[in-house]
């Protein structure tokens, strides 16, 4: 049921060249087309709305779940609601992402709400990549919303990447941390042409000795626009750090608003934000090694977004 184009999209957003080992659910053009479960990970179709429930048993180790979405039709709007139960003491990798190929003149859109319950002492790495392509004039739109509750001692690593080609995106993440919970968020985003992207991450550190680190790197090219809003809210003894770095090129616009809110006397919160262009000395150094200016720019941007 997967053609060459589908496989190309899956490789871009989920690193898949074939069906993965372990649990997976592949969705194409608004329908589930392939699924596998394991003895420790079950995937159940929701009955009341489009989406799935992913149930990971307590103590599950070294297993993965792939849940990519691909859209290859013009004029399609797809909406899913996915819920994840990450059992206590488990250690899992969850790979999501959406790839859109829009060959026509009508918009193609995917909106997804992912809600996670990371139970006591569990560790989860969640990777979400977005990519779009297509020769038509129709817009490619993706609006992900991620909600994560992390119980005592839980660890979450969140990697959010927008590779290229998305005309518009509203990205929302809402995360709550309990006692001794740890969070690392890495965001990498590229916009081009007339694309625009809004990203909003809110982290509430409710539990004692919870920690959060947010690292955002973006590149805005041509006439694209980016807006970032990050907020760390310390409600207990906790530590948090926000670092936002952007490279701006051509006629692009970038707005970055890191915010920290200390609601407890022992909350230690830091924010940093920097927006600038590619340093000329970096270009000159790479061009002296034989690269053209365009090749030197591309090398610098790849390294920055890595």
Dump pLDDT digits (tens) for 82-97.
Answer: 999 999 999 999 999 9
What pLDDT digit, counting tens, does each position of 166-180 carry?
999 999 999 999 999
- Bridge partners of 231, per DSSP, are 202, 259
What pLDDT digit, counting tens, does each position of 256-304 carry?
998 999 999 999 999 988 999 888 888 888 888 888 888 888 888 889 8
What pLDDT digit, counting tens, does each position of 143-157 carry?
999 999 999 999 999
User: How far is residue 17's CA from residue 81's CA, in Å, rounded to a whole number?
Assistant: 26
157: Cα within 13 Å, side-chain hemisphere = 9
Q: Would you state the pLDDT for residue 1?
A: 67
- Per-residue DSSP letters for the chain? ---HHHHHHHHHHH--SSPPSSEEEEEETTEEEEEE--SSEEEEE-SSSS-EEEEE-TT-EEEEEE--EEE-STT-EEEEEEEEEE-TT-EEEEE--EEEE--SSS-EEEEEEEEEEE-TT-EEEEEEEEEEE-SSS--EEEEEEEEEEE-TT-EEEEEEEEEE--SEEEEEEEEEE-TT-EEEEEEEEEE-TT-EEEEEEEEEE-STTEEEEEEEEEEE-TT-EEEEEEEEEE-SSEEEEEEEEEEE-TT-EEEEEEEEEE-STTEEEEEEEEEEPPPHHHHHHHHHTT--HHHHHHHHHHHHH-
Band of pLDDT at residue 228, cut at 50, 70 and 90: very high
Q: Would you state the pLDDT for residue 286?
A: 84
Q: Would you state the pLDDT for residue 79?
A: 96
Q: Would you state the pLDDT for residue 136?
A: 84
Q: Would you state the pLDDT for residue 255?
A: 95
Q: Would you state the pLDDT for residue 16?
A: 84
Q: Would you state the pLDDT for residue 261?
A: 96
Q: Would you state the pLDDT for residue 80?
A: 97
- Taking Cα atoms as reference points, which of 216, 252, 13, 225 lies closest to residue 132? 13
Query: Of residues 291 and 40, which shows the higher confidence score?
Result: 40
- In the predicted structure, residue 18 carries a pLDDT above the cut 80: no
User: How far is residue 121's CA from residue 179's CA, in Å, rounded to a whole number?
Assistant: 10
Residue 275, Cβ neighbours under 10 Å: how many?
17
Q: Would you state the pLDDT for residue 135?
A: 84
**Percentage of the chain exceeding pLDDT 70:** 100
N-to-C CA span, the chain: 33
What pLDDT digit, counting tens, does each position of 243-258 carry?
999 999 999 999 999 8
pLDDT, averaged across the chain: 94
Mean pLDDT, residues 121-139? 95
User: How far is residue 33's CA from residue 51's CA, in Å, rounded to a whole number?
Assistant: 13
């Amino acid at each position: 049921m997967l053609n060459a184009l589908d496989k190309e999209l899956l490789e871009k957003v989920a690193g898949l060249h074939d069906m993965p080992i372990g649990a997976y659910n592949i969705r194409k053009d608004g329908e589930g087309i392939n699924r596998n479960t394991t003895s420790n990970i079950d995937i159940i179709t929701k009955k009341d709305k489009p989406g799935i429930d992913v149930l990971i048993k307590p103590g599950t180790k070294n297993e993965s779940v792939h849940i990519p979405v691909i859209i290859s039709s013009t004029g399609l709007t797809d909406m899913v609601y996915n819920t994840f139960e990450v059992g206590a003491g488990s250690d899992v990798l969850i790979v999501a992402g959406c790839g859109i190929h829009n060959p026509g003149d009508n918009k193609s859109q995917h909106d997804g709400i992912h809600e996670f319950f990371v139970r006591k002492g569990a560790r989860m790495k969640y990777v979400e990549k977005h990519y779009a392509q297509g020769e038509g004039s129709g817009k490619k739109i993706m609006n992900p919303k991620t909600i994560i509750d992390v119980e005592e001692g839980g660890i979450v690593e969140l990697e959010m990447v927008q590779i290229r080609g998305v005309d518009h995106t509203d990205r929302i993440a809402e995360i709550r941390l309990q006692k001794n919970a740890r969070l690392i968020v890495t965001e990498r985003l590229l916009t081009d042409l007339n694309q625009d992207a809004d990203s909003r991450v809110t982290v509430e550190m409710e539990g004692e000795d919870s920690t959060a680190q947010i690292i955002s790197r973006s590149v805005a090219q041509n006439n694209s626009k980016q807006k970032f809003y990050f907020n760390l809210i310390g409600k207990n003894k906790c530590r948090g750090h926000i670092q936002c770095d952007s490279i701006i090129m051509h006629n692009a616009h970038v707005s970055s608003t890191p915010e920290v809110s200390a609601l407890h006397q022992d909350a230690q919160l830091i924010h940093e934000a920097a927006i600038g262009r590619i340093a000329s000395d970096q270009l000159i150094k790479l061009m002296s090694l034989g690269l053209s200016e365009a090749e030197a720019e591309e090398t610098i941007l790849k390294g920055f977004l890595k």
